[in-house]
Amino acid sequence: MTIGRVQTVVVVGYLILIQATGAIAGFWLPAIAPEVGLGLGVDPILIGYQVLIQYIFAMLASLMAGGFVRRLGAWRASQLALALFAASHALFLTGSITMIVLGSVLLGCGYGLVTPAASHLLNKIVTPRNRNLVFSIRFTGVPLGGITAGLAAPATALYLGWQQSVLVVVAISLLLVLAMQPLRARWDDDRSASARIFQSPVSDIKLVWSLAPLKWIAFFGLCMGAVQTTLTTYTVTMLVEDLGYTLIAAGVGLSMIQFASVFGRVAWGWLADKIGGGLAVSGLVALIASICAGITCLLSPAWPTGLVYALCFAFGLVGMGWNGVYASEIARLAPAGKVSGATGAAMFITFSGVFLGPVLFVAIHGWSGHYTTTFALTAAIALTGLFCVTRAVAGARAIAAIGR
């Protein structure tokens, strides 16, 4: 099957929109947590449990994604994810805590389908010369969606009310489902009506575990997932508590991280294709992330604001810029026909880092008493990620030697 440049642009464009919609859906309630808490009569900090539920079910859904992709097709699986985003926010509209919990379950299930389906589709259209760049461009949807939610959700909630504001997510998701439908037959031509949707989730984990390069790059994803979560979760609090910034000034620091991640994802993908080494770039990203985290430990109120923001930007380039190359390497290393399953299992391991990072960070902070010095933990996790890349490289070389 010959894939033209226009078709490649169309597919990547749709996948960016799907990823961005998932990010908007995931960030919408956290972005208006104070209004939600006021409306429900609960402490806004409880929004953390909503996010926790979302990620737990994203992990579980990622393990099942391979079956959905094989049976329904990756395009239809992506439409299903969007439909789940819409359904989740329709439940949020009720204003019931029970329905918010159920909606968070659906939201997580949808989010867990997105990346395995996208990797399957991208693997159809990429070439060895543009693989990392194309995968990385697709991942720019995450920060773009996050920025959109951060700007649009609060204003919409204040104007319409928090419950009515979620209809924005419902509308975007359903419109995108409809817009995708004319291309469904074209991009789901490899689906199998006899494939089992539900299968043992252990099989894909065993697949990843059995291949050393896949196993170690998945553990790299776990480490960098922890780095990314600690960076985005605690930067604002660190700038306020340890450096005395106002909430608005601290928010600028977080915005620098988000904007940098857009450039970082594209730049690292381009570099990986340029040098022909996604694993080498992954190791470089982990190394720079550890250096940025180490420098963060040295922050104090005496640092010039511009220098602090520059550090936030640099940290964002690596701490949130690794995802595209990572997904590309998973797809490259996976056996033929196993891309979606391997990606789902790898994402399950990566999502584990989302929990690992904050849990360890809170524990160390209780001992150190400062957010800045606690970033020494983030530096150590990033260095562990670098070690994982070296093991992946060694595993890939061993397999290549056997092939010769």
| Dihedral of the alpha carbons of 219, 225, 227, 233, in degrees to the nearest 10 | -160
Identify whether residues 127 and 172 lie together within a single domain.
yes
* Residue 112 belongs to a domain: yes
At residue 47 the predicted structure's pLDDT band, cuts being 50, 70 and 90, is low
Question: How far apart (Å, rounded) are the C-alpha atoms in residues 207 and 365?
Answer: 37
**Domain contains 219:** yes
Do 260 and 290 sit in the same domain of this protein? yes
Question: What is the C-alpha to C-alpha distance for residues 274 and 284, in angstroms, rounded to an integer?
Answer: 14
The answer to whether residue 195 sits within a structural domain is: no
Alpha helices for 297-370 (secondary structure H): 305-319, 323-333, 339-368
Same domain for 114 and 46: yes
Say if residue 45's pLDDT is above 70: no
What local confidence, expressed as pLDDT, does residue 340 receive? 81
pTM given for the model: 0.82
CA distance 278 to 270: 10
Is residue 337 situated within a structural domain? yes
What's the pLDDT band for 149 if we cut at 50, 70, 90? Answer: confident
Same domain, yes or no: 67 and 102 = yes
Q: What is the pLDDT of residue 1?
A: 44
Last residue of a domain, one of 126, 159, 185: 185
219 and 177 in a common domain: no
How many structural domains is the chain composed of?
A: 2
The CATH number of residue 167's host domain is 1.20.1250.20
pLDDT on residue 358: 79
Q: Is residue 193 part of a domain?
A: no
Q: What CA–CA distances, in Å, run from 307 to 250, 256, 286, 293, 371?
A: 13, 12, 22, 14, 18
Q: Are residues 165 and 211 in the same domain?
A: no
Asked if 316 and 217 sit in the same domain, the reply is: yes
Q: What is the chain's mean pLDDT, rounded?
A: 89
Residue 192 placed within a domain: no
Residue 389 has pLDDT above 90, yes or no: yes
The arithmetic mean of pLDDT across residues 343-361, rounded, is: 84
For the stretch 68-117, pLDDT in tens is: 998 999 999 999 999 999 999 999 999 999 999 999 999 999 999 999 99
- Specify the higher pLDDT residue, 354 or 324: 324
Same domain, 128 and 272: no
- For residue 338, the model assigns a pLDDT of 83
Q: Tell whether 57 and 142 lie within a shared domain.
A: yes
* pLDDT cut 90: percent of the chain above it: 51
Domain termination site, one of 119, 150, 185: 185
**pLDDT for position 192:** 83
249 assigned to some structural domain: yes
The answer, yes or no, to whether residue 403 has pLDDT greater than 70, is no
For 2, the domain range is 1-185
In a shared domain, residues 178 and 312: no
> Could you tell me if 239 and 249 are in contact, meaning their C-beta atoms sit under 8 angstroms apart?
yes
**Looking at the structure, do residues 316 and 209 belong to the same domain, yes or no?**
yes
Domain final residue pick, 185, 208, 236: 185
Is a pLDDT exceeding 80 seen at residue 289?
Answer: yes
Give pLDDT, residue 4.
72
3-state SS assignment for residue 148: helix
Please tell me what DSSP assigns to residue 161: -
Residues 222, 181 share a domain: no
Tokens of 381: 């996790």
In a domain, 190, yes or no: no
The residue that leads in pLDDT, 168 or 255, is 168
